[in-house]
């Protein structure tokens, strides 16, 4: 039953999946706290344009995605001075990137190649992860983790209470841009494993579930990592071992992730009685329309 685990491509898939799960869980903690789920989704979809563009140019999908997501992250950082609630800017960049992606896909199909191959980016192709993809994932992942460890305290401060952090001299704007670039790199890697359409699920579900169950930052992050790795391994195992029906990995991962989140809602009600729930923070809500400055 477990013989399949000895094969090379399966081991690559597990290695890549584990690395991605750890990084997305940690990044996801900040994404959920900063209410940037939409930005994460947008960056993943921008990865689609990057991958199809790379296919047209004949370079690898991962470099193409990395280039475009980093560019888009820089653009988003420049457009929105505060990303929270400013989802219109994200939406506009996203729709433009999707248009580009569709164009690249059409051009790619014109060259006689199969459009379904380009569509593969949408759904992920963890089974075709190569050694060089693995290496890039490892290097990028380690740099993200190092940078996050270095920025952890100011980033958490700026995330939880932006106004006070700014008053204390934390470079909030710069941190926000740096975080978006890290998020761009993370989503490009996640796309490799679960595809454009499901990257968001690994990014936010483990962290959102963990945030419902604990309030301490480090405990939340650790729980998110554990959940993320369990979800990924569970998805891979079910896909590889499950009855030989070849159901897609992405389906299992997305379902397990949704299950974890929806289970965490009643669990958090049990754990924290209604009385002790923290009040909503005043800075969390903010106007979606362009306001006066």
Partner 1 sequence: MFAILQYPFIQNAMLTGAVIAVIAAVTGYFLIARGLTFAGHALPNVGFAGAAGAVLLGIDPILGLFVFTIGASIAIGLLGSEVRERDTSIGIIMTFALGLGILFLSLYTGYAQQVYSFLFGQIVGISRQDVLITTLVSAFTLVIMIILYRPLLFSSFDPQVAEARGLPVRALAIIFLVLVAVTVSLAVQIVGALLVFTLLVGPAATAVRIASSPLRAICLAIVLGISYAWLGIYLAAESLYWPASFFIATISFGVYLPVRFLSPWLREHRGKPVIDASTNIARRDFEGKNV
Binding site for partner 1 (CB under 8 A): 32-33, 35, 37-38, 40-42, 79, 84-85, 87-96, 98-103, 105-106, 110, 115-116, 119, 122-123, 195, 197-198, 200-201, 204-205, 208, 246-248, 250-255, 257-258, 261-262, 280, 284-293
Q: Which residues contact 78 (CB under 8 A, 6 or more apart)?
A: 177
Report the distance separating Cα 55 and Cα 52, nearest Å.
5
- Which lies closer to partner 1 via its Cβ, residue 137 or residue 201? 201
Burial code of 24-49, b = ≥16 C-beta within 10 A, e = fewer?
Answer: bbbbbbbbbbbbbbbbbbbbbbbbbb
Apex 93 CA angle, 91 and 98, nearest 5: 90
Taking the complex as a whole, how short is the minimal distance between the CB of residue 162 and partner 1, in angstroms? 13
Report the distance separating Cα 125 and Cα 44, nearest Å.
15
- Which lies closer to partner 1 via its Cβ, residue 136 or residue 207? 207
- Which lies closer to partner 1 via its Cβ, residue 134 or residue 160? 160
- Which lies closer to partner 1 via its Cβ, residue 131 or residue 243? 243
Taking the complex as a whole, how short is the minimal distance between the CB of residue 197 and partner 1, in angstroms? 4
Helix-helix angle 8-33:172-194, to 10 degrees: 150
- Which lies closer to partner 1 via its Cβ, residue 38 or residue 138? 38
Taking the complex as a whole, how short is the minimal distance between the CB of residue 179 and partner 1, in angstroms? 16
Which among 27, 92, 36 is positioned nearest to 286, based on CA atoms? 36
Taking the complex as a whole, how short is the minimal distance between the CB of residue 146 and partner 1, in angstroms? 27
- The DSSP code sequence of 195-238 is -GGGHHHHHHHHHHHHHHH--SHHHHHHHHHHHHHHHHHHHHHH
Which two tokens mark 150? 């270095």
- Which lies closer to partner 1 via its Cβ, residue 179 or residue 261? 261
Taking the complex as a whole, how short is the minimal distance between the CB of residue 230 and partner 1, in angstroms? 16
Taking the complex as a whole, how short is the minimal distance between the CB of residue 131 and partner 1, in angstroms? 26
């Amino acid at each position: 039953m477990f013989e399949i685990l000895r094969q090379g491509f399966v081991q690559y898939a597990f290695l890549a999946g584990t690395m991605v799960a750890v990084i997305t869980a940690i990044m996801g903690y900040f994404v959920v706290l900063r209410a940037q789920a939409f930005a994460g989704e947008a960056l993943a979809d921008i990865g689609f344009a990057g991958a199809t563009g790379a296919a047209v140019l004949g370079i690898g999908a991962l470099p193409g995605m990395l280039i475009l997501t980093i560019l888009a992250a820089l653009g988003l950082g420049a457009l929105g001075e505060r990303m929270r609630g400013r989802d219109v800017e994200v939406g506009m960049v996203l729709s433009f990137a999707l248009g580009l992606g569709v164009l690249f896909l059409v051009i790619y199909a014109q060259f006689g190649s199969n459009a379904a191959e380009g569509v593969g980016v949408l759904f992920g192709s963890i089974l075709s992860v190569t050694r060089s993809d693995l290496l890039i994932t490892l290097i990028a992942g380690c740099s993200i983790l190092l940078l996050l460890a270095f920025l952890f305290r100011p980033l958490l401060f700026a995330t939880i209470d932006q106004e006070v952090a700014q008053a204390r001299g934390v470079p909030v704007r710069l941190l926000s841009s740096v975080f978006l670039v890290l998020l761009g790199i993370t989503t490009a890697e996640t796309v490799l494993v679960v595809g454009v359409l499901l990257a968001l699920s690994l990014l936010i579900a483990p962290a959102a579930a963990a945030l419902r169950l604990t309030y301490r930052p480090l405990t939340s992050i650790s729980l998110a990592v554990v959940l993320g790795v369990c979800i990924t391994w569970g998805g891979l195992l079910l896909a590889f071992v499950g009855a030989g029906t070849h159901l897609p990995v992405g389906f299992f991962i997305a379902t397990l992730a949704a299950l974890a989140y929806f289970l965490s809602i009643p669990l958090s009600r049990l754990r924290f009685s209604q009385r002790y729930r923290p009040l909503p923070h005043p800075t969390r809500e903010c106007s979606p329309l362009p306001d006066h400055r």
